[in-house]
Amino acid sequence: MLEGFDLTGRVAIVTGGGTGIGGATAQLLAERGADVALAGRRAEKLEKMAATIREATGRRVFIVATDVRKPDQCQAMVDAVVAEFGRLDILINNAGGAHGHVGLHKMDLAKWDRDIQLNLSAATYCSQAAFPHLRKTGGNIVNISSMAGVNGTQGVAAYSAAKAGLQMLTKVMSAEWGPRGIRVNCVAPGMTATEAAVSGWDTRGFDAATVAKQAFSLGRYGTMREMAQAIVFFASDAASYVTGETLAVGGGAKIGGMINVEDDEELGTLLEKP
């Protein structure tokens, strides 16, 4: 295994680990040698993912049914994981989501509060609970934001604001906890073909492939594995001197211009000269 990427002997918690990017991240962590705890509200999804990871990697996988919007449950989750494995090295604050798409002028304020709590406050609750254990191991935290937190997305104002706040929380947390040996970074995934996303695209008749081709310089949407690779990089020693950063994994934004470089022979020739 490449230097810095071996996670043998490490213990990781992945919130929202039963499906999607969380599940893909948990599996990649296990492939790199970590033992993994999956946290989420639905035990049946966690059990299914745990069985998949165990079969694929042979690593220990522990599940903890947890509502990360509740501080006491976050503390109980961390306590249970440390009791099971004896340590904690990595916390992936992945749980999140938006409750419907609606204009801000019509948004139910209870849903606003719920989105802020799920996408921002929950990461604080889990991180505070994990802090003393991560301090002992020199561990790290990876917060999962979204490109909605980088550029904003109409119709999900609370989600966008919370994810932007998560990026600033990452900076402040890294500044306060870096001297205590804890790195904190953030990944902001773009359009990703998770199970939930694909189901939603199909239900709404949304042509994600066409939209991605028009919107992103790479011309496609991302995979769960691609998001997991960025997350696990931050969680590994390969990123041992990186903290307080947000990495956008969004396929590249297209920018405007006067010409198509591929169709301009003169400019193409100039660009090829050393």
> Could you give the residue numbers annotated as active site?
159
Residue 140 near residue 235, CB atoms below 8 Å: yes
Q: How far apart are CA 11 and CA 38, in angstroms?
A: 11
Q: How far apart are CA 235 and CA 212, in angstroms?
A: 28
- Give CA 105 to chain center in angstroms: 29
Placement of tokens 């022979």 in the chain = 265
Phi, then psi, of 19 in degrees rounded to 5: -150, 175
Task: Specify the DSSP element, H or E, that contains 212.
Answer: helix 208-215
Residue 228's CB is within 10 A of a number of other CB atoms, namely 26
Residues with Cβ within 8 Å of residue 73, at least 6 apart in sequence: 66, 67
> Which residue type does 46 have?
L
